[in-house]
Amino acid sequence: MSLFESPFFQDAFSQLESAGATMNMDPNVLERLKYPKRALQVSVPVRLDDGTVKVFEGYRVQHNMTLGPGKGGVRFHPHVSLSETAALAMLMTFKCALVGLPLGGAKGGIKVDPNDLSRAELQALTRRYTTEISMMIGPDKDIPAPDIGTDGQTMAWMMDTYSQLGGYAVPGVVTGKPIAIGGSLGRAESTGKGVVFCINFAYEKLGKKVGTSTTVAIHGFGKVGMPAAQDLDAQGAKIVAISDVSGAIYNPKGLDIPACVEWVRSRKYLKDMPGAELITNEQLLELDVDVLIPAAIDGVVTKDNAHRVKAKMIAEGANGPLTHEAVDIISARGGLIIPDILCNAGGVIVSYFEWVQGLQMFFWDLETVNKKLHDIMKLAFDKVWECSQKYKVNMKQAAFIASLDRIQGAMRLRGMWP
C-alpha cells in the first residue's frame, strides 16, 4: 500500500514541499519530513455477538519524534487507511511544533464503522487493537487520544488494557480520558474552544469584534462543532446553519443552539429537528456568511466547489477540510483561512495538559486550563500572522513555515544517527 494512495497524504505532502521552498528550508531536513519514522499495520480479530469472528485493519503511524513522544488520536472510521493515517500523523508533527509542545506527531485508527458494532464488540475491538500496538505506545513513547468515532470511553478501555498488560495503572498512556480516571477538565470542549479563540484573534487583527451581526455556518456538529457553536452563541454570534451526517439545518435568523445541542445529545439526527429548513452539507459550505467552520472531515472544500464558497473567514476545525488548491482559490479572492494545524490545536494542547497533570499527579481547575490554552494559542496565532506578513503568503502556508522552522532547528541540533 502506497503512502501516496490518498489525496489527503498527497495534499499534506504538497503543502510541506511548498512551505519548504518558500522558506528555503534545508533540503536534507525536508527530505526526512516527507516520510513517517515508522508505521505499523495490525490485524484486529473480534468475536462478534453472533459468535462469528471478523478481522479489521488497524494502524499506528509515528511521523517524527524529534521534539518528544508521539501524540495523536485514534480514529474508528470506514475510510481509515495507512495513507490517511500517515497524513494525519504528519499534520500532528507540524501542529505540535507550531504551538510549542514537546511532542511529536503520530496517529492511529481502525477501518470500521463503529455504529455497526455493539458496545461489547467495540470494547473487544479497542482492547485487541491496544494489545497489538502496545509495543509502540506508552507515556514516554506515544500517547493516543480520541478522534473521529472514538471518545473518552474508548480511551478508558485503552488505558485499562495497557495497564493490565503492565500489571499496574498507567493513566498517562492516553489522553482524553474521563475525569474519574485521570482526565483533564476542559479536554472535551478544548478543540472547539480553540477554534473560537482563533476566530476572535483574527477579528482583533482586522479591527473587528464577534457580535450579533456575525453570521456563522458550521459543517459538523460534533466534538468540535458543538462546543464552538456554544461559545460563539454565548458571544452573541448568529449560528445560521449546522450539520451532521444526515444533512444540514438552516435558519437565516439564527438557530437555537441550546435546543440543537439537546436534540443531538438525545441521539437524534439534525434532519429530524423541527422548526428549521433542511439543506445539504454542500449547500451549507456555500452559504454567504461571515465565518465558515468546516469541523467534520477532510477534503470537503476542493478546487471544484471553492469558487462557490462565499464565507469571508474560514476556520479549519477539522484536519485538512480544504485542499491546497481550494486554499489558493479562496486566498486569491481575499478570504482569510485560519489553518487546521493552528485552529484545531486546542485538543492537543489540553491533551498535553492532561499528560502533564497525570505525570505530576496534580490536577488543575478549569479556569487554569482555559487560561493556559488561550495564552498558548494566542502566541501561536501571532507567530503565524507575523510569518504571513513576512513571507507575504496566506495563513495556511505561514503556519507550515512557522512550524517547520522550529522542527528544522531541533533536527539540526540533534543531528542524524548513525
Query: Would you say residue 1 has pLDDT above 70?
Result: no
The predicted-structure confidence for 111-143, as pLDDT tens digits, reads as follows 999 999 999 999 999 999 999 999 999 999 999
The predicted-structure confidence for 204-259, as pLDDT tens digits, reads as follows 999 999 999 999 999 999 999 999 999 999 999 999 999 998 999 999 999 999 99
Catalytic residue chosen out of the listed positions 71, 107, 177, 223: 107
Q: Both 230 and 122 in a single domain?
A: no
The predicted model scores a pTM of 0.95
CA atoms of 357 and 178, how far apart (whole Å): 14
Sheet order of strands, 247-250 included: 277-279, 247-250, 238-244, 215-219, 291-294, 313-315, 336-338
Active-site residue, 107 included = yes
Count of structural domains, the chain: 2
Query: Would you say residue 57 has pLDDT above 80?
Result: yes
Domain end marker among 343, 358, 385: 343
Q: Using CB atoms within 10 Å of the CB of residue 107, give its burial: 0 to 12 exposed, 13 to 18 middle, 19+ buried.
A: buried
User: Per-residue pLDDT averaged across 23-50, rounded?
Assistant: 97
| DSSP codes of every residue in 102-115 | S-EEEEEEEE--GG
Q: Both 112 and 210 in a single domain?
A: no
Query: Would you say residue 99 has pLDDT above 80?
Result: yes
Q: Both 143 and 265 in a single domain?
A: no
Half-sphere exposure of 174 (CA within 13 A, CB side): 32
Q: Both 223 and 314 in a single domain?
A: yes
Q: Both 126 and 240 in a single domain?
A: no
Q: Is residue 403 part of a domain?
A: no
CA atoms of 371 and 186, how far apart (whole Å): 11
Q: Is residue 287 part of a domain?
A: yes
